[in-house]
Amino acid sequence: MKKKFVFNGIKDFNLAHIFECGQCFRWNPVEDENGNVELDEFGNPTGAYIGVAGAYAARMQFQDDTLTIEATGGDESFWWHYLDLDTDYGVIKRELRKVIPSYVLEERGDSEANLSLLVKKRGSETRPQISIRILNQDKFETIISFIISQNNNIPRIKKLIEALCERYGEPISGSEELTADGRMLFSFPTIESVAAINPSELAEMKFGYRADYIPAAAKRFMEEGEPESYEDLIAYLGIGPKVANCIQLFGLHKVDAFPIDTWVKHIMNDMYGFKESDTRGMAQFAEERFGTLAGYAQQYLFFYYRK
DNA sequence: ACCCAGGTGGCTT
DNA sequence: AAGCCACATGGG
């Protein structure tokens, strides 16, 4: 039942960076018996992560350029693609270093988190590079997840998504062997099962005013077929410019998409002096300055500023 | 009590 | 096109 994959010689890879840059909501560091997680000097979990991608659960560990995956399913190419291991992020970072300050691409500690970018003077010390990767996630899961994300915070988004999966998804057989406490993990519910949900159930589950949007989005996805373009996405109730860009970047792997959320507004104000209401100006700036790499740039900036 | 979180829809200028 | 504001919920 349980499969094991080992990938050697993996560069530009860090589980904490990948799973905690806001692109996904179902991966968490594995806790010890006391519920603690070991952190490195920069405040990032150093050990294994456990979570779900599509219908498969997995536990991953990365050490000395070797990635080890224990999974309930999928094959080598599934996980390779999910983690975007075909892409050379060294090249991307080399290009981005020309257009964003180099310290954004470097590790830093939590104690530095809330300093203004304008007053920050990093000096010439060298630090490990941030090693984000843009995952190749399921489109439907990404749509529903980012509809839930609106005007919400990441811990609560994660809770709501887990509740949705536990109630409407399927238990993943073998996942109980991966969790520390024998707990089952659940697949993300299918399009059909989300379409069949009564919004009042979601309201009872504290989804708030998003409750109506979720089954409606699944129905639309079924009836109209998979959305491809920005215009397709923004036509959904509950999907505006920001969520549409997140879905393009994280669910369709359109890596020039540049989602502008509250954090990016803070960054663009702090770093480049944009008014926080001037999302149009920010988008144009990102397109001109970051071009085809705008999505990567956004992720590095988001990770840098939010940490 | 108030403000914020990976915002959007709808209504008014 | 741009500017308001309500929208559920929970944490600080």
Please tell me the predicted confidence (pLDDT) of residue A124.
46
pLDDT digits (tens, 9 = 90+) for A251-280: 999 999 999 999 899 999 989 999 999 999
Nearest nt to the CA of A263 via C1' is B6
Contacts of A77 (CB under 8 A, 6+ apart): none
Q: Taking Cα atoms as reference points, which of A214, A174, A173 lies closest to residue A194? A: A214
- What pLDDT is recorded for position A242? 98
Residue A111, pLDDT above cutoff 50: yes
Distance from residue A160 (CA) to nucleotide B2 (C1'), in Å?
25
Reduce the DSSP state of residue A112 to 3 states and report it: helix
Cβ of residue A155 lies below 7 Å from strand C: yes
A284 Cβ within 7 A of any nucleic strand C atom = no
CA–CA distance, A174 with A227 (Å, rounded to integer): 33
Q: Which residues pair with A7 in a beta bridge?
A: A67
pLDDT surpassing 60 at residue A115: no
Gap from A65 CA to B7 C1', Å: 39
**Is residue A66 pLDDT above 90, yes or no?**
yes
C2 nearest neighbour residue (CA to C1')? A277
Place of tokens 């609106």: A150
* Average pLDDT value for chain A: 93
Q: How many Å does it take to go from CA A258 to C1' C4?
A: 26
A151 touches strand C (CB under 7 A): yes
Q: What is the pLDDT of residues A124-165, one digit of tens each?
A: 456 788 999 999 999 999 999 999 999 999 999 999 999 999
Among A251, A253, A248, A255, smallest CA distance to A230 is for A248
Output the pLDDT for position A47: 95
Please compute the mean of the pLDDT values over residues A108-120 and round it to a whole number.
56
**CA A282, C1' C3: Å apart?**
18
| DSSP conformation class of A229 | S
What own/partner pairs with CB < 8 Å and gap ≥ 24 does A60-68 have?
A60/A15, A61/A15, A62/A10, A62/A13, A62/A14, A62/A15, A65/A8, A65/A9, A65/A10, A65/A11, A66/A6, A66/A7, A66/A8, A66/A9, A66/A10, A67/A6, A67/A7, A67/A10, A67/A13, A68/A4, A68/A5, A68/A6
The answer to whether strand C lies under 7 Å from the CB of residue A201 is no
* pLDDT at residue A119 is higher than 50: no
State the nucleotide closest to A239 in CA–C1' terms. Answer: B8
How far from chain centre, in Å, is Cα A112? Answer: 23
Nearest to A190 by CA among A252, A154, A139, A227: A139
Which bases of chain C are under 7 A from a protein CB atom? 2-3, 7-11
Q: Which residues touch strand B (CB under 7 A)?
A: A 21-23, 149-154, 156-157, 209, 234, 236-244, 246, 259-264, 266, 298-299, 302, 306
> Which pLDDT score, from 0 to 100, does residue A118 have?
42
Structure tokens at A276: 């926080």
Q: Is A275 (CB) below 7 Å from strand C?
A: no
Angle at A299 between CA A97 and CA A41, to 5 degrees: 80
Residue-wise pLDDT for A175-216, tens only, equals 999 998 999 999 999 999 999 999 999 999 999 999 999 999
On strand B, nucleotides with any atom < 7 Å from a protein CB are 4-10
pLDDT in tens, A13-23: 999 999 999 99
Q: Which of A39-53, A69-83, A113-127 has the lowest mean pLDDT?
A: A113-127
Q: What is the per-residue pLDDT for A21?
A: 93
Gap from A6 CA to C11 C1', in Å?
A: 40
Instruction: Supply the pLDDT for residue A41.
Output: 86
Q: Return the nearest residue to C1, CA–C1'.
A: A280
The 10 Å Cβ neighbour count of residue A183 is: 10
